Amino acid sequence: MANVVERAGETTTRSHASSVLPATSPTERLAAPPANIGPSVVARLDPAIRARLPLDLQQAIEFHGHLCPGLTIGYRAATIALNRLGVTKGTDEELLAIVETDACGADAIQVITGCTFGRGNFVFKDYGKQVFTVYSRAQGIGWRVAMRGGVLSANPQHQTLLQKVAQGKATPEERQLFQQAHLARALAILDLPDEVFADIRQVELPPIPKARIFPSVQCSVCGENVMEPRARVKDGKFVCIPCAEKYGRGWEING
C-alpha cells in the first residue's frame, strides 16, 4: 500500500514496500557494521582544505559524495536563508524549501535546512536556475537567494579540462589539474560576501499546507496503486499516468 503526500501544490507517493533483507533479526541488522565502507569523503580531502570546511558543510559533502562548486552554492544559499530567518535546521515541517535546480546545490539545501522530499517540505521547480527559497511557516515569510551571474569569472582552462574529464579523454595529470581548479572554485564561493554571492530578497508566500495523505486507487491496466489525485480516467476506469494514452482530441497533456 502506498501513502500519498501532497506538498505545496505538488504531490508524490510515499512507498512503504519493504526491501529484500537477509534473514536476520532487526537487532542484528542494526548492530552489524556497514559492509565495504572505506574512509569518509571528507577524510579523503587534503587536510588544508578540510580545515576550511564548517562541520555542517562536511555533512553535506558526505551526503552528496564530493565537494564541488555546485554543492557550496546550495550551502551558501541555505545558510544565508536560515540566518535571515533566525532559525536553525528544521526537524519536521516547520520550514519549506523551494529549489529551482536539480543540480548539486539541492543536496546541500536538504542537509542544511532539514527540508527533504520524504519529509514533504522540499519542492523542486525545474527552472534550471541557481535559486533557492527557504520559507518559515511560523513567520509567514521566506528568503529567496539567487546566485548572481558572473560571480566567478570564466576560466577557459577549467572549462576545457571539464570537457575532457566529462568525455573521458583527460590524462591523469589533466584530471588532477581539473580537481584542483574545481576545489578552488568551491572554496572561493565560501569566501564571498553574501551580497556579492547572491541577490537576497524577503518573499511572502500564500499559506502552505503541510503534507496530506490521499487514498490510493488501482490502475486498471498495470494493477499498481496510484494516489487518487494523480489518477486518470479512461473508458470509465482509473489508470496511472504511465498507462494513460492520449485520450481526447489530441491536444490534451495527460502527464
Residue 4, pLDDT score: 40
C-alpha cell at 18: 519493504
Could you give the strand order of the β-sheet that contains 131-136, starting from the edge strand earlier in sequence?
A: 122-124, 95-99, 131-136, 141-147, 198-204
C-alpha cell at 5: 503526500
Residue 24, pLDDT score: 45
Condensed to tens digits (0 to 9), the pLDDT of residues 167-189 reads: 888 888 988 888 888 899 999 99
Report the alpha-carbon distance of residue 108 to residue 46 in Å, rounded: 21
Condensed to tens digits (0 to 9), the pLDDT of residues 207-244 reads: 777 777 889 999 999 999 999 999 999 889 999 998 88
In the chain (255 residues long), the average pLDDT of successive 10-residue segments reads 41 37 42 54 91 95 95 98 96 94 97 93 95 95 95 79 87 88 92 96 84 89 92 92 70 50
25 to each of 28, 29, 31, 32, 183, how far by Cα in Å? Answer: 5, 6, 10, 11, 43
Report the alpha-carbon distance of residue 233 to residue 144 in Å, rounded: 39
Candidates 68, 182, 1; CA nearest to 60 is 68
Residue 169, pLDDT score: 87
